[in-house]
A and B are shown apart, each in its own frame.
Chain A
């Protein structure tokens, strides 16, 4: 009855350390599902483009006041980080649906590495983010963004690192709480202060007239250093302390995010 015999199947079953292959299978499956229903990708992209179109013009006359030559060269780095943070932070919602459909359990009962189950999903978020970032920069260019090519590349890499961290954390949170109703308030209570205190929309600095207490609080946000560093990179200042800090923080977030994510996915009882 079986044209494919057990022996054949077991022969190809031999190399168990097939971590990269397993990550690729998960990644391709996720991409396929996302591209079949690209609504979320489009909504995720529409948001920063709307900011660019509807908020950008308000910044133009303020450029000198916030210490920028070009309002869009100042503004696009913030939008880039916003895309990296929030696009990926909400990616875990998809995992809850998959868990409810039994997909996560079905994948966990295969011999595939559980870390690969996470990395394939992070890979999806990172790939989408890279495409969205490129489009955002392209649209920014149409509005008048002028920036160093290398700087923009560095900016995108930093964004992707932060996005990967957020994706890992979000997927880990999703697997832990397994409920949209629990997850949504947690994410929203993180997202809003991060957005307001990172200087994504306007700089938070005493030089531009921000009150001291607000600056002091915002100085505690790693994302503030990251957005400042990306601005330096866009401006072509590649040797600033700001950029170094941005890279340090991005790498640190990436490592911590991955560590938390892997730990959660490898946990026996998740």
Chain B
């Protein structure tokens, strides 16, 4: 569905008299197969939107090539536009217009006849739980409703491939969860291929078959969420001790689980990454008990995508978001 090679984009910006070059996307290779849901995960400013705008023919790449839905973005942009739906980060409707009118006009710009556009629009309103919103002004809709309207706009011509740029940014947790259901329905019910960007780890984790991690305009990793998490050296075992006197003993025992490793000590807490932690924990508990170490708590944490991002880039995604 999408094949990009060396896709790059630099912006010339003027700051005062000085001209500077901003490398927004620094040469991206990516392949998305039909029926996949692929997530583009990265902090703000990583180059997600810029990549999406190149793939949707809104922006000309400064280098590289891309084929989207079987058509070259540079030589046949109109054919690309006809086959894709794009839900941009910034919305798609005038706040003052009527929601239904916006959807119909949008459909008609794809060459759909007025009556069909209306039928299709009403069908999408029903599917996306926008019943009764047809005559409403988008500015009077809630954030979640407005985002669903944007999605309806992107689907009005029944595209095989849908691009979603930060579909749930700024929504409350309930509206986000609701939108996730609708996004995964796109594939299960209509067989669409979906390429979405997000800076939320839980979103990438919940929705995507495959994640491309992007940072500073380059893809730094590409795999399934689980495989990415496996790349991080194991699960985190954290022991919280009942008293200070056994901290060093606990650290020594925990460190022994992995050759050449040392546990991190922070006050009463002792922690370390251990492959296959669940099978190590029973033995560890027994030997700690034997040495008279009293535990206040023990926690085993599976790696999160945040750990992945931290391992790959040395920075936490949360700080940026």
Query: Are A and B subunits of one complex?
Result: yes
Report which A residues bind B (CB closer than 8 A): 1-4, 6, 8-9, 12-16, 18, 21-22, 25, 28-29, 32-33, 36-37, 97-98, 100-103, 105-112, 268-269
A98 touches B119 (CB 8 A): no
Q: A101 and B120 in contact (CB under 8 A), knowing A1-B190, A13-B82, A29-B105?
A: no
In the complex, which of the residues B60, B84, B101, B157 contacts A9, with contact meaning CB atoms closer than 8 Å?
Answer: B157
Given known pairs A2-B190, A13-B112, the reply for A110 and B81 (CB within 8 Å) is yes
How far is A145 from B192 in the complex, measured between Cα atoms in Å? 65
Q: Which residues 83-127 in B have Cβ within 8 Å of A in the complex?
A: 84, 86, 88-97, 101, 105-106, 108-113, 116, 119-120, 123, 127
Q: Which of B82, B106, B120 has the most CB of A within 10 A?
A: B106
Which residues on A sit within 8 Å (CB–CB) of B119? 3-4
Residues of A within 8 A of B304 (CB): none
Q: Is B291 an interface residue (CB 8 A)?
A: no
Chain A residues near B86 (CB-CB < 8 A): 105-106, 109
**A12 interface neighbour in B109, B112, B190, Cβ under 8 Å:** B112
B125-144 vs A, CB cutoff 8 Å, 1 = contact: the mask equals 00100000000000000000
Beta-carbon contact of B57 and A109 below 8 Å? yes
Q: Does B153 sit at the interface, judged by CB under 8 A?
A: yes
Cβ-neighbour of A14 out of B56, B111, B116, B157 (below 8 A): B111
Q: B residues within 8 A CB of A28?
A: 105
Supply 28 A–B pairs (Cβ within 8 Å), ascending by A: A3-B119, A4-B120, A9-B157, A12-B111, A12-B116, A13-B82, A16-B111, A22-B109, A32-B97, A32-B101, A33-B96, A97-B94, A101-B91, A101-B92, A101-B93, A101-B94, A103-B93, A105-B58, A105-B86, A105-B88, A106-B153, A109-B57, A109-B88, A111-B78, A111-B81, A111-B110, A112-B109, A269-B60
Q: Contacts A8-B116, A33-B96, A33-B97 known; A110 to B109 CB distance under 8 Å?
A: yes
Residue with the highest number of chain B CB atoms closer than 10 Å, among A100, A103, A107: A103
- Residue in B101, B123, B127, B150 whose CB lies within 8 Å of A4: B123
Which residue numbers of B lie inside 8 Å of A, CB to CB? 56-60, 78, 81-82, 84, 86, 88-97, 101, 105-106, 108-113, 116, 119-120, 123, 127, 150, 153, 157-158, 189-190
Cβ B116 vs Cβ A4 within 8 A: yes
B56, B84, B108, B119 — which one has the most chain A CB atoms within 10 A of its CB?
A: B108
A residues within 8 A CB of B97?
29, 32-33, 36
Pairwise interchain contact A110-B110, C-beta atoms closer than 8 A: yes
Do B93 and A6 touch (CB < 8 A)?
no
Interface residues of A, dominant DSSP: helix
Taking a contact as CB atoms closer than 8 A, the residue among B59, B88, B105, B123 that contacts A269 in the complex is B59
Cβ distance A161 to chain B, nearest Cβ, rounded Å: 28
Chain A contacts of B157 at CB under 8 A? 9, 13
Closest B residue to A94 using CB positions: B94
Instruction: Identify which of A13, A100, A106 contacts B106 (C-beta below 8 A).
Output: A106
Residues of B within 8 A of A103 (CB): 92-94
Contacts of B60 in A (CB 8 A): 268-269
Which A residue sits closest to B62, measured CB to CB? Answer: A269
Instruction: Give the chain A neighbours of B116 by CB distance below 8 A.
Output: 4, 8-9, 12
Min CB–CB distance A82 → chain B (angstroms)? 28
Contacts A4-B116, A9-B112, A9-B157; A16 near B78 (Cβ below 8 A): yes
B150 surroundings in chain A (CB, below 8 A) = 102
Task: Please indicate which of the listed interface residues A1, A37, A102, A107 has the most CB atoms of chain B within 10 Å of its own CB.
Answer: A102
Chain B nearest CB, measured from A265 CB (Å): 13
Known: A2-B158, A2-B190, A4-B120. A13 touches B90 (CB 8 A): no
**Given contacts A2-B158, A21-B108, A101-B90, could you give 14 more A-B pairs where the C-beta distance is less than 8 Å?**
A2-B123, A4-B119, A12-B112, A15-B111, A22-B109, A29-B105, A32-B97, A36-B96, A37-B96, A101-B91, A102-B92, A103-B93, A106-B93, A110-B109
User: By the criterion CB–CB under 8 Å, are A106 and B88 in contact?
Assistant: yes
CA distance A97 to B91 in the complex (A): 12
- Determine the distance from Cα of A107 to Cα of B109 in the docked complex, in whole angstroms: 8
- Judge whether B81 and A3 touch: CB under 8 Å: no
How many angstroms between the C-alpha atoms of A94 and B158 in the bound complex?
30
CB-CB under 8 A from A110, the residues of chain B are 81, 106, 109-110
Asked if A102 contacts B91 (CB within 8 A), the reply is: yes
Contact of A108 among B58, B82, B101, B120 (CB under 8 A): B58
Give Cα A109–Cα B54 distance, bound, in whole angstroms.
11
In the bound complex, residues from chain B placing their C-beta under 8 Å from that of A14 are 111
7 tightest A-B CB contacts, nearest first: A106-B92, A102-B91, A102-B90, A110-B109, A13-B111, A112-B109, A268-B60
Q: Distance in Å from the Cβ of B102 to the closest Cβ of chain A?
A: 8
Residue of B nearest to A28 (CB): B105
Q: How far is the CA of A63 from the CA of B157 in the complex (A)?
A: 62
Are A111 and B82 also in contact (CB < 8 A) when A2-B123, A101-B95, A269-B59 are? yes
* CB pair B92 A105 closer than 8 Å: yes
Q: Which of B78, B150, B158 has the most CB of A within 10 A?
A: B158
CB of B294 to closest CB in A, whole Å = 59
Contact of A109 (CB < 8 Å), options: B56, B89, B95, B127: B56
Q: In the assembly, what is the distance between CA of A37 and CA of B139, in Å? A: 15
Question: Which residues from A are CB-within-8-Å of B94?
Answer: 33, 97-98, 101, 103
